[in-house]
Amino acid sequence: MIADNLAAVRLRMAAAASRAGRDPDEVRLVVVSKTQPVEQIALAKAAGVRLFGENRVQEALEKIDALAGQGLHWHFIGHLQKNKVKYIIGRFELIHSVDSVDLAERISALGLERREPTSILIQVNVSGEAAKSGVRPDDLEETLKAAAGLAGVRVEGLMTIPPYDPDPEASRPIFSRLRELAKEFDGVGGGSLKELSMGMSGDFEVAIEEGATLVRVGTAIFGERPGPG
């Protein structure tokens, strides 16, 4: 089932890219394995997946350790507390969910200790929903300027999570706004904001049409999650 779902998602991704006149190779699929047991991740690996996204520190580290040495790549996509940074530094290729200067400073400090900068995305709360984490669009420039001064992080782009809506078209203005913000503030964070992490199972095609370079897809590949995600 995972292999079939994966093939279907990849086809839909490629179709969305071509509708937008984009090269499908510009869009990477992050398979969101949160709450999925190691056995499911191994099945996804057998189907060809190498890049996984996790949102809880403890759970992620257990899986990374259990699957070590298998050539898998891991991204952190969940809300991150400052006191947990020490556990995840060096374990993830990209942290999608940096939502404050404080957090970026902490990641930078630990990255400097290891003499290796950590790649991060700044999460933007485009919709302004009270319950969502993320930097407000009005604070993005300042956040990026602060991050540019941190030698232990490399800001590679922006991430957003739109408000839940069963209609994928509802996400379109949020995604296009994130793309505009990345264009407006390109270079302000010290480097190019080339990555746009946006789109989940319900709206990844719209996200790709609007410029996503990373889509984070769980349910459409594994089916409904076994636990709270």
Ligand X SMILES: *Cc1c(COP(=O)(O)O)cnc(C)c1O
Side chain identity at 88, as an amino acid letter? I
CB closer to ligand X, 49 vs 161: 161
Q: How far is CA 113 from CA 57, 102, 108, 122, in A?
A: 20, 17, 9, 22
Q: Which stretch binds ligand X (CB under 6 A): 17-25, 81-89, 146-154, 197-205?
A: 197-205
Q: Within 74-113, which residues bind ligand X (CB under 6 A)?
A: 77-78
Number of residues that bind ligand X (CB under 6 A): 15
Q: How many Cβ atoms are within 10 Å of 128's Cβ, its own excluded?
A: 11
CA distance 46 to 70: 11
Tell me the longest C-alpha to C-alpha distance in the chain. Answer: 46
CB closer to ligand X, 179 vs 216: 216
Q: Which stretch binds ligand X (CB under 6 A): 20-28, 68-76, 181-189, 200-208?
A: 200-208
CA atoms within 13 A on the CB side of 168: 13
CB of 32 to ligand X, least distance (A): 4
Decide: is 201 part of the binding site for ligand X (CB under 6 A).
Answer: yes
Site residues (vs ligand X, CB under 6 A): 32, 34, 55, 77-78, 161, 200-202, 216-220, 229
